[in-house]
Structure 1
Amino acid sequence: MGRLVPAVTRALDILELFLDGDGTLSAPDIVRKLQLPRTTVHELITTLAARSYIVPVDGRSGRYRLGVRLYQLGSRYAEQLDLAHEGQEVARSVAETCDETVHVAILDGTHVLYIAKVDSTHAVRMVSAAGRSLPAHCTAVGKMLLASLPDSELDTRLAPGTELAAMTPNSITDPAVLRTELEAVRAAGIALERRESNADVSCVAAPVRDRSGRVVAALSISVPMIRWSEERRAELEQLAAKGAADLSERLGHRAAA
């Protein structure tokens, strides 16, 4: 690995300072936060401003905000993002940690569509495939995605008279019961499925957000009941939440401090 260039590192440190606070900074702010010489800071600010990476704030003398060049770079990065590809990479990392089957899914009407999947190496494991579609109400990812919908959209998908098909004896078939569960999912920020799509498997799932903060997918970990316990569930919930947060970050989401 080559040597880091100090001037470039300092310039990037300055840009990253704008991620906090109200998004504006002055030269004295930067000097104080980075403990850099004033002359160095002024030279770096002048260079960044000349290249439109930062711009002066109108009506606030001496303060700067991020410039259009960073928006252009960010937009190009966003254009290159592929949810399925990024989801597969994160799912692989999560599966390597827990050695259980990991899925990433999106909502398709009242069903979920699995767009990424990594298998457990255990002989006994959940059998599925990317591209498979299941009723959302029977799965942890589906509950997570349904719970993330605005009420108006949820009302459309769960209109009066909606029939919820059962995949196992544990599946939720009453829309009122499902709505109660979705409220609990919203409150917890995590979804749980207990043998509702497969009588031998339970799952946990967490939300994946894009750069606007909108939930666009969910990441789940599926575990055969022979390896399931409440202690294990708690561990997997934390791992699923971390994996979903990692994937969200790849999609440009920045969690609140």
Structure 2
Amino acid sequence: MGRLVPAVTRALDVLELFLGCEGTLSAPEITRKLRLPRTTVHELVTTLTARSYLEQPPDHPGRYRLGVRAYQLGSRYAEQLDLAAEGQRVARSVADTCDETVHVAVLDGPDVIYIAKVDSTHAVRMVSAAGRRLPAHCTAVGKMLLASLPAESLDAVLPGDEPLAAMTPDSVTSPEALREELASVRERGVAVERQESNPDVSCVAAPVRDSGGTVVAALSISVPTVRWSEKRVAELEGLAVKGATELSQRLGHR
């Protein structure tokens, strides 16, 4: 591996300061935050401004904000993103950690479609496939995605008071009960499904967001009943949230 170039590292440090900044920064603020010499910071911001990675707002002389070139690079990165491919990479990482089956799914009307999947190496594991479609209300990923919908969109997916289809005896079939559960999911930020789509499997799921903060997918960990316990739920929820957060960051969310 080649050596890092100090000047380039410092320039990137300057740019990355703006990831945690809502507005503008002055050269003295950058100097203080990075603990660099004033002359070095002056040279860095002058160069970055000349290349349009930073700019000085007309109404804030002496201060800097991200420039159009940074936006162009970010937009180019977003254009080349593939949710399924990125989801597969993150699912692999999560599965390597917990050795359970990991899915990434998106919502399609009242159903979820799995777009990425990595199997557990255990002999006893969930049998599924990318591309499979299931009723959203019977799955952890589906509940997470339904809970993220605006009220009008949720009403369109769950119209009336007709009972919902059941996949197992434990499936939630009451629209009212489902809405109550979705409110809890919304509050907690994670969803749990206990043998509702498969009598031998339970799952946890967390939301995946795009660069604008919109929930576009959910990541789940599926565990056979023989390895499931309420004591393990917190650990699995933490892993699901960590994986979903990593995938969100890959999609440009911060």
TM-score (norm 1): 0.97
Q: Answer whether contact 1:23 1:66 (CA < 8 A) is retained.
A: no
* Amino acid in the other structure paired with 2:55: V
What are the within-5 Å matches in structure 2 for residues 199-218 of structure 1? 199-218=199-218
Aligned to 2:95: 95
What are the within-5 Å matches in structure 2 for residues 216-227 of structure 1? 216-227=216-227
Aligned to 2:53: 53
Instruction: Look up the SS of the partner of 1:160 in the other structure.
Output: coil
Q: Distance in 1 between matches of 2:2 and 2:23?
A: 32
**Unmatched 5+ stretches in structure 1:** none
Deviates more, 1:230-239 or 1:101-110: 230-239
By how many angstroms is 1:44 displaced? 0.9
Q: Distance in 1 between matches of 2:161 and 2:234?
A: 35
Q: Distance in 2 between matches of 1:58 and 1:194?
A: 57
Aligned to 1:119: 119
> How many residue pairs were aligned?
254
What are the within-5 Å matches in structure 2 for residues 1-257 of structure 1? 1-254=1-254
| 1:87-118 Cα distance to aligned partner (Å, 9 max, x none) | 00000000000000000000000000000000
Q: Answer whether contact 1:114 1:130 (CA < 8 A) is retained.
A: yes
TM-score (norm 2): 0.99
Give 4+ residue runs of structure 1 displaced > 6 Å after superposition: none
Identity of aligned residues (%): 76
C-alpha spacing 1:99/1:20, structure 2 compared with 1 (3 Å)? same
By how many angstroms is 1:162 displaced? 4.1
Q: Answer whether contact 1:103 1:117 (CA < 8 A) is retained.
A: yes
Q: Distance in 2 between matches of 1:184 and 1:223?
A: 22
CA RMSD of the aligned region, Å?
A: 0.8
